[in-house]
Amino acid sequence: MGTFSIARKIAQHLKAIVFLSILVSAQMPGEQNLAPFFDFCCDLEGFSLPENTPVGTVIYRLIGHDPEGYKITYAIESGGYFAVDPDTGEITLVKAIDREQLAQELGDYIRVELSLEDEVQNSGSNNLVKFQRLIEVTDENDNSPVFVNTPYTINVDETALVGTIFNEVFVVDADKGFNSDVFLSCEPATSVTCSIFNIKEVREKEGHFTGVLTLVKSLDYETNNSYTMRIKAEDGGSVPRSSTTTITINVIDHQDVAPRFFGAPYFAEIHESESVGKSVLKVAVQDGDQGNPRQLRLELIGDILGYFVLTVTNTGNIRGPVTAELRSSGVPIDRESPTVLENGGIYSLVLRATELINSTAIGDISEANITIVVLDSNDNRPTFSHSEYIVFIPENLPNNATLPGLDIVVTDQDVGSNAEFAITLTGANTTFDVFPKRAIGSTPVTIKLLNSSNIDYEVVDRRQYKLQITATDNTGQNTTALITVNVEDANDHFPSFLNENYNLTVNENLPFGTVIATIIATDGDSGLFSHLTYSLRGNGAEKFSVGKETGRITIASCDNAPCLDAEVTSLYSLTYEARDNGGQISAVPLYIDINDVNDQQPIFQQFVYETSILEGVDHFSTPFSVRASDADSGQANNQLTYSIVRGNQAGTFAVDERTGELSLLKGVKYNDTPDRSGTFSLAVQARDNGIPSQSSQTIVQIHVLDNNTHAPKFEYNRYEGKVYELASSGTRVVQVQATDEDYGSNGRVSYNLGEGSSDNFIINSTNGWISVANNANLDRELAGGVYDLAISAADSGVPIMRSTANVSITVLDENNKSPYFSQSTYTASVRELSSRGTVVAIITANDPDETADLRYTFIEPSYGRAPSGEVYKEENTKRYYSLFNINEISGKVTVTSEIYKSDVSAVTLTIQAVDVNAITEFQQANTTLDIFIQPQTVRTPVFGGSWSSEKPEIAVTILEELPVKHTVTILSATDPSTGQPVVKFEKLRSSTGNYIDVEENGNVFVNKRIDYDTNLLLPLTLDVRAVTETGASAFATVIINVLDINDHSPQFTLDEYISEVKESARFPTLITQVRAEDKDTDYGFNLITYSLYGNGDGVENFAINNETGWISVRQGALLDREAQSVYYLQATARDNPQSATGASPQQTSVLVTIKVVDENDHSPRFEKKSYNSAAVENIQRQGTILQVIAHDDDDPTSPYGQLVYTITDRGNMGTLFSIRPNTGEIIAAENLLDQASDVPYIFQVKACDRGEPARCDTSSVSISVGRILSNDDRPRFLTPSPGGEVVAIQEDAPLGTSVFTALAYSNDDSQTAESHIEYGFQKKPVQR
């Protein structure tokens, strides 16, 4: 039993042993000595070892057993890395391990051979067990990244665009896994270089990275012409290792900076009496482009008087400045010249420097201002602005008053002390005086009245004065002027009213033109000064008209509407004025009381009321009321009754006739709305109880909101369509349709096209028609005959719901392709004197069209060769193709006449294939057939290789871009007569372009550059002849097949891609397509795959189709403009050479900028759900009370983030308040006088964005209006009456006798001091 158990263990253990050998010895006759074995736990199975394990470390302990209990010993073979204790089985590392070196030799494993041997007693043979294990050496981060091909130097033009990419940095890390990942950064990050250039690593393969250098700011050579960028490469180890290098970035100068003046602008001084050739100033100028400067030309601009000349003193070397000197020209300089004088003695010039291009001044221009101050000489006398002055003054002009209307100006055009002068006045006695007495330059002069008693209009000899004024400069030069002063009469009386004030009472419904009073005044003056005119001033004066000449007061027109309204204003306090022709005014108070008349109809607070309600509910979520008011004061006239008069056909709504609150009589149904529009439009009427009664109506719109509970549903899961491959853009192919059981925007369906269209189809987002796209290429021979499209339908609800379907479009073939021959030249041979009908060759063409029907024929040119190989020069070449015939259906070429080699050694025929079913003209192809004539007895040379007299061709394959003179092949031929090799070869003809040539010794070589990707006619051919010493010859055509190499990188069609995507876009929305082209053509060299990398966070939100380059929203991605509004991605195009070619792939990257377009996905939010404020009753109309503020997280520059504030429910405030729609300021819509209340005014405001539909939020507002402690109501007399009363008194009545008792009242609060009235006599009218 025990033996069976041990054997089973051994069998199980053998399953894990790679190699096992067992030496079994016989112990005793009939007994078998069983071999020792390792314990399952301890046989190195699956063991791995870090490469940095120190030498001498015990790394493992083997445990073995012997079935008979004999002593066992351990041994190990490991290439010197390990040693094992033969007794204990402990394995010790004895040789250092380097995984990177090991990987080059053995891979990441050390192969060991373990031995386990028992020591059999009684001189028996030992059992020796051997097996192998692979110990994995795990990587440690013991290698730092290494920069390759250093040092790095990049030359960048200063005009390089932001986003330009340079792939110049290469880094390798010998470690593996995360330890070999390399991350590049610019250090220090705050440096100027790091702010201008960005470095980003791109992984090529494990441990190999390319550093992509990107320009992020514009360059300027003149600011900085060189940058040193320190790059740090850090690996991804847990304890990272790093290395650094530098890149020298040289900025190449571009001619973009104009010349630069040194010390500009320039200033200089010169006396107006200076001599010829006076040096004024020196200037220097240099081209601003120091990296590539140009020569300059200097010009003096603006010297219109010719005062100066400019002399260039040094033209400068190529990098040095140009210097010049400005001198006086000899033209007399005059500071009083109008050009100089009007500019304050300044003479302004401009110095212009122009860059020379090919010795022509057409380059950049710079200008510097030269300001020259012309210094004065005393050569001008003072002058008056006029030689005579006349002035009129009133007789009541006071002392020290300045005579009005005089405009005396004295001017000396010199400057400084040369312009000083004295002013004197004669003939004035003590009546007048002059000011100032001394002046300088240009000075206004005034005459003052010293003694007003000397002027009197009523005294004839005091009505006029003659004065003389004199100005004398410091040299005695003087000028005089005459002044005549005339005295005029003055107006010295005010108009006078009979009464100190006037009181009137009128009805509010008086018509236009009704006379309500006539008030006049008198004036003590005579003549024009006694003529009076009348006017009214004050708040409300426009309600009345005053006869300007008569003083008659009437009701104004007020644009043909009633002017007076007691409900608006019951009292007008005005000022009545009388004015004489001299401008004297007197005024008296005028009080007009307005009697009320019942003339108002109810007015709703809003023209339209709106609210929204969910379908199915049977009550409003908040009370919803309409309110009207009636300005009449009578109880019957302003008591209102509400009713619904129109729009309630479904009987859904009711209105409280007293309060105007609306309610629901049953659950709301969307289908009950008119035409299923989703809106009930009710007409609600308010009628007063007056006789006759007045009424008005308002509109109540109640929007029923549909819940978005259904996704769009396609009619079919799969659609099929057909289209011809030549269909024009816009051709409709198939229509898909989906329906949505929701209403409104929730049921509005839009269609989107997903992958599979290859840009050849588009879908109308509204009606679902799929049609051919602009620039579509439906060539079925290139792109295939079937397109499988993915489509989606989405509603416009929140949240958006989608469904998908598939569309299969079959492209129908049209015969639009030309046929083609597989070879440009075919060769064949035929023996001379072959019988008619002998088949020479079968030449056929290919046509990709399904309906092609080809016909073959011979066409010109054709020609023959003499036995010497020379081409016959004959005009009639038809004789050559008359030797042969071609079957128009099969392309079989046969002999038609006897052919003698002595006449012709070879015939070249041109064969044409025409597609007779073509839909366009000229669907045809041509090729040539070379037929070599063989003699009856062949003694001509024989070429080696695959050549035969029946098919005299030699095929060779080469790569494109081989160097010129490179040997393609070496021809060999044998003379059958002697058996000796032919040593002379001649070129007869080569294919177009002469790319291949042959030397006399048979060396075929490249004669000029061969580029596979140009329009080469392949294969290349070369006709040669081998000539023996006896002159015998044979022909061969060398056919050279050219193979493409991967020598072009993909090139993107744009330098940068910029696109937009809505933030609500979800998988699989297409955003933009990047497209690259590769000039290579074969072996997958032009087969491009695309990939996407991120230059920051967010790349995980996007995916790219690696075949088409379409970038789309990745599945599960959620875009949010408020979180990130723009993404910068890097798209890479990589070609894919077939592995058998051994070519390395090429790749190119481009910057893709995706801007997230805001959508209305955030609702406004008020800062508070309710606002409370207080106001006082003296706030005037338009006065601000408080501001409500809401915020919206959408883009503030778009309609979705722009808010409009409105009042939605006016509550109990009527029309007292309004709200500014753009700011949320709540203002008084009318004066708050007498609106104080113990109950606050409560209403509701709403903030909505400008989206379609809008998103909104509401908040309540409570405003308490308090009374102010001020006298805001004018007292009114009960007695006397407004018309006045006459009181009688006896002439001998004693002092203190009561004559009359006046009684007045006020509407102010009786509990305040403001209701206390004091009485007194009014003073006489104030005159002004």
CA–CA dist 824, 989 (Å, integer): 14
Q: Across 32-36, 64-68, 192-196, which has the greatest mean pLDDT?
A: 192-196
In the predicted model, is pLDDT for residue 1273 greater than 70?
A: no
Distances 151 to 168, 214, 230, 231, 243 between C-alpha atoms, Å? 10, 19, 12, 12, 14
Rg of the chain on CA atoms, in Å: 56
CB within 8 A of 572, min separation 6: which ones? 538, 539, 540, 541, 543, 544, 591, 592, 594
- DSSP assignments along 506-547, one per residue: EETTPPTT-EEEE--EEES--GGGG-EEEEEESTTGGGEEE-
pLDDT at 332: 85
DSSP state of 990: E
Helix (H, G, I), strand (E, B) or coil at 206: coil
* pLDDT for res 1291: 66
Residue 733, SS3 per DSSP: strand
- List, for residues 727-768, the tens digit of each pLDDT value: 899 999 999 999 987 777 788 899 998 888 888 999 999 999
How much is the average pLDDT of 135-155? Answer: 88
**Residues pairing with 770 in the sheet:** 734, 763
Question: Taking 60 as the threshold, does the pLDDT of residue 949 lie above it?
Answer: yes
CA distances from 1021 to 606, 998, 1010 (A): 93, 12, 13
The percent of residues above 70 in pLDDT, for the chain, comes to: 90
Local structure of 405: helix, strand or coil? coil
pLDDT higher than 60, residue 207: yes
Query: What secondary structure does DSSP assign to 1079-1104, as a single string?
Result: S--STTTT-EEEEEEESSTTGGGEEE
Instruction: State whether residue 745 is helix, strand or coil.
Output: helix
Answer whether residue 876 shows pLDDT above 90.
no
- Helix, strand counts (H, E) of the chain: 7, 98
pLDDT of amino acid 1065: 87
What integer is the mean pLDDT of 886-904?
89
Distance CA 61, CA 41 (A): 10
The answer on pLDDT for 95 being more than 80 is yes
Q: What is the pLDDT of residue 345?
A: 80
Task: Using the predicted structure, report yes or no on whether residue 887 has a pLDDT greater than 70.
Answer: yes
Q: Is the pLDDT of residue 429 over 70?
A: yes
C-alpha torsion angle, residues 407, 413, 414, 420 (rounded to 10): -10
Band (pLDDT 50/70/90 cuts) for residue 1283 is low
Pairwise CA distance, residues 1177 & 113, whole Å: 106
Partner residues linked to 131 by β-bridges: 114
Q: Read off the amino acid at residue 366.
A: S
Paired tokens of 860: 């010109």
- Residues written for the chain: 1328
Q: Which of 478-487, 739-748, 1051-1060 is predicted least confidently?
A: 739-748
- Tokens coding 849: 């069209």
- How many other C-beta atoms lie within 10 A of the C-beta of residue 415? 20
Query: In this predicted structure, what is the pLDDT of residue 267?
Result: 82
Query: What's residue 875's pLDDT?
Result: 57
**How far is CA 89 from each of CA 65, 125, 325, 581, rounded to the nearest angstrom?**
11, 22, 101, 136
Classify 107 in phi/psi space as left (phi over 0), alpha (psi -120 to 50) or beta. left
Please say if the pLDDT value at position 1056 is more than 80. yes
The 3-state secondary structure of 588-650 reads EEEEEEEECCCCCCCEECCCEEEEEEECCCCCCCCCEECCEECCCCCHHHHCEEEEEEECCCC
Mean pLDDT score across all residues of the chain = 83
With cut-offs at 50, 70 and 90, classify the pLDDT of residue 1164.
Answer: very high
Is the model more confident about 1002 or about 566?
Answer: 1002
Q: What is the mean pLDDT of residues 2-12?
A: 36
b/e map 1132-1151, b = 16+ CB within 10 Å: bbbbbbeeebebeebbbbbb
Report the pLDDT value the prediction gives residue 24, as an integer from 0 to 100.
Answer: 39
pLDDT in tens, 1130-1156: 899 988 766 556 677 888 988 999 998
Distance, in Å, from the CA atom of 1214 to the CA atom of 710, rounded to the nearest integer, reads 43
Q: Average pLDDT for residues 250-264, to the nearest whole number?
A: 81
pLDDT at residue 462, as a whole number? 82
pLDDT at res. 22: 37
Highest mean pLDDT among 91-105, 226-240, 774-788: 226-240
In this predicted structure, what is the pLDDT of residue 388? 92
| Structure token pair of residue 195 | 């702010």
Residue 90 — pLDDT band, cuts 50, 70, 90? very high
- What is the percent of the chain with per-residue pLDDT over 90, rounded to a whole number? 23
**DSSP string covering 214-278, please?**
EE-S---TTT-SEEEEEEEEEE-SSS--EEEEEEEEEEEP-S----EEES-SEEEEEETT--TT-
Show the tokens assigned to 585.
């005014």
Query: Would the pLDDT of 209 be above 60?
Result: yes
Q: Residue 379 above 80 pLDDT? A: no
Which range is least confidently modeled, 176-180, 317-321, 340-344? 317-321
Give the containing element (helix H, strand E) for 1073.
Answer: strand 1070-1073
User: Does the structure show a pLDDT above 90 at 1166?
Assistant: yes
Task: Say what the pTM is.
Answer: 0.36
- pLDDT by residue (tens digit) across 535-591? 998 888 888 999 999 999 998 888 777 788 877 787 888 889 999 888 888 888 999
First to last CA, the chain: 143
How do residues 675-722 score in pLDDT, each as one tens digit?
878 899 999 999 988 777 889 999 999 988 777 778 899 999 899 999
Instruction: Scan for tokens 């790679």, then name that residue.
Output: 18
Q: Identify the pLDDT of residue 552.
A: 94
Q: In the prediction, which pLDDT does 1274 show?
A: 64
Per-residue DSSP letter, 88:
T
CA geometry: angle 948, 952, 956, nearest 5 deg: 105
Structure confidence at residue 16 (pLDDT): 34
How far are the Cα atoms of 4, 9, 698 from residue 13, in angstroms, in the given order? Answer: 14, 6, 97
Q: What is the pLDDT of residue 15?
A: 33
At 1060-1119, the pLDDT tens digits run: 988 888 888 889 999 998 888 776 677 889 998 876 667 889 999 988 899 999 888 888
